Amino acid sequence: MSLHTDDAQKYILVVEDSKMFTRLLKTSIEADANFTVVTAEDYSELKKLLESGRYDFFASLLDLNLPDAPDGEVIDYVLSYHIPSIVFTGKFDDDLRERMLAKGIVDYVLKESPASIEYIVSLLKQLNRNTLIKALVVDDSRTSRLHIKRLLAIYRFIVLEAENGEQALDILNVHNDIRLVITDFNMPVMDGFELTKKIRNLYNKQEIAIIGMSAYGNNLLSARFLKIGGSDFINKPFLEEEFFCRVNQNMELLEYIKDLKFVATRDFLTGLYNRRHFFEMGEKIFSGACRTQRPVAVGLIDIDFFKHVNDTYGHDGGDAVLRKIGGLLDGGIRACDLVARVGGEEFALLLPNVNSEEARIVFEKLREKIAGTTFELAGNTQIKITASIGVCASLEASLENALLHADKLLYEAKNNGRNQVVLS
C-alpha cells in the first residue's frame, strides 16, 4: 500500500453469485488495501442492502450476469446510487464494451486469471489516491473540457478547469498541489506547448504529470511535446480505456517516485527524516542562516539509559519507545524545523530563526514532554523515559561544527545527571 494514502476506512461493495470468486476478491482486497468488503450474491440481496442505507460505499465490483439480473440490470441500479462501479465478466465484445462505458463505469475486467484480481486491487487503491489528487483540464473547447472533466470525475479526481494557458497558470499559482495537467495543444492566448514549458519552469516531472492532447496529433507533434517536458500525449479522438490507462500509469509513476523519495529520506522505524537527509537539507538551511546572519539552533537529543530498555524489554520494547519519541518530537516543532533520527537512540533538530532564549524554551518543552509521557509496551507494561539534550545556539562556521558543539553539551548534560538541557 502507498505510504501516502488516506487511512479512513472505506467500504467496497462486491456483487457476485460465485462464492469462490467472492471469497478471492474479499481476501485480496482486504489484505492489500485499507478497505472493508461487503457482499451481495444476487440482485434481490443487493436492493435490500442499498435500500437499508447502512453503508456509504466508496466503490463497487459488479458481476454483469446474475441469476435474477442476467442482462446487467445491476449496473444501472448501483450507478443510480452514484457509486463508482467496476464491472467484471467472463466474456466481452465491442458492442457490450461501448454500452458499459457509456453508462459511466470506472472500468471493466475480464475474469481470466489471478492477474485480474491484482488489477482490481490496484485500481481500487488508485481510486483511493485520486480522491486527494487535483487535476487541471486546459482546453478552449468547453465541450472537450466537460468530457474530460467527466472522465476524471469517474476516477474520483478533484477536477479544475481552464480555457487557456494563462488561466491555467493563474490556477496553478493558487492551487500549487495540482498533480495532473491535461492540456490541449491548439489554444488562443497561450497554447499547450508554451504552457508546458512554463509549468516545467515551476515543477519537475516528479511533481506534476502533464498529458498533452490534440486532434491534429502525429508522431512529430508528440515527440516535440515530450521533449519540452510533457509526460504523455494522446491523440483525439481517443478510446476511454486508453485515456484511463495513460492517466493511471502517470499517477502510479508519481506515486512510485514519491514512495521512493520517502524511503530514501526517512528513517524506517520512526518515520522521521534519516541522517543523510538531515545533513543534506540541514546544511542548506544552516548555510542560509550564516549568509543572512539569522539565528539558528541545533540540538541533539539522546534517550537516557536506552540500553537498559532494550535489555529489559527487548528490541520490540525499544522500538516502541523510539517510535513514540519520534512522534513526540515531530509534533512539537514547526513546519520549517528539521528533525531526524541520526543514531540508534539519538535525534537531531535544526530550528531556523530561533535565538538562544527561544531555543531553550523549545527544548525544555520537548524534554518535559518526553519525561511526562507514559510509554505503553507489550503486555500492558508502562514505563517512563527521560532524555538529555545538548543545544548549540551560537552561529558556527558549519552545521558539522554546530553538531560537534551540541554533542559536547549533550555529554555535559549526561555527566550532570541526565534529563536536562545544556545550551550554549
- List the CATH number of the domain containing 65: 3.40.50.2300
Tell me if the bond preceding 237 is cis, omega within 30° of 0: yes
Digits of tens for pLDDT over the chain (424 positions)? 333 444 567 899 999 998 988 999 999 999 866 799 999 999 999 999 999 999 999 999 999 889 999 888 999 999 999 999 999 887 777 787 788 888 889 988 888 777 888 889 989 998 999 999 999 999 999 999 999 999 999 999 999 999 999 999 999 999 999 999 999 998 999 999 999 999 999 999 999 999 999 887 677 888 889 999 999 999 988 888 889 889 989 998 998 888 888 888 999 999 999 999 999 999 999 999 989 999 999 999 999 999 999 999 999 999 999 999 999 999 989 989 999 999 999 999 999 999 999 999 999 999 999 999 999 998 889 999 999 999 999 989 999 999 999 999 999 999 999 999 999 9
Residue 198 has a pLDDT of: 96
What is the rounded CA–CA span in Å between residue 259 and residue 226? 24
Assess whether 140 and 191 both reside in one domain. yes
Assess whether 317 and 360 both reside in one domain. yes
What is the rounded CA–CA span in Å between residue 364 and residue 386? 12
Does the model's pTM come out above 0.85? no
User: Is position 2 within any domain?
Assistant: no
* CA 63 vs CA 12, 89, 192: distances in Å: 14, 6, 41
Instruction: Enter the DSSP assignment of 189.
Output: S
In the three-class reduction of DSSP (H, G, I as helix; E, B as strand; rest coil), residue 208 is classed as coil
Last residue of a domain, one of 240, 264, 288: 264
Assess whether 147 and 250 both reside in one domain. yes
Assess whether 172 and 300 both reside in one domain. no
Q: What is the domain range of residue 111?
A: 10-126
Residue 315 has a pLDDT of: 93
* CA 40 vs CA 77, 337, 340: distances in Å: 14, 51, 48
Residue 9 has a pLDDT of: 77
Residue 379 has a pLDDT of: 85
What is the rounded CA–CA span in Å between residue 221 and residue 217? 6
Residue 33 has a pLDDT of: 66
Cell numbers standing for residue 4: 501516502
Q: Please give the single-letter amino acid code of residue 249.
A: Q
What is the rounded CA–CA span in Å between residue 109 and residue 120? 8
User: ∠ CA 89-90-95 to the nearest 5 degrees?
Assistant: 70
Instruction: Give residues with Cβ within 8 angstroms of 371, minimum separation 6.
Output: 384, 385, 386, 387, 419
User: Is position 17 within any domain?
Assistant: yes
Assess whether 248 and 194 both reside in one domain. yes
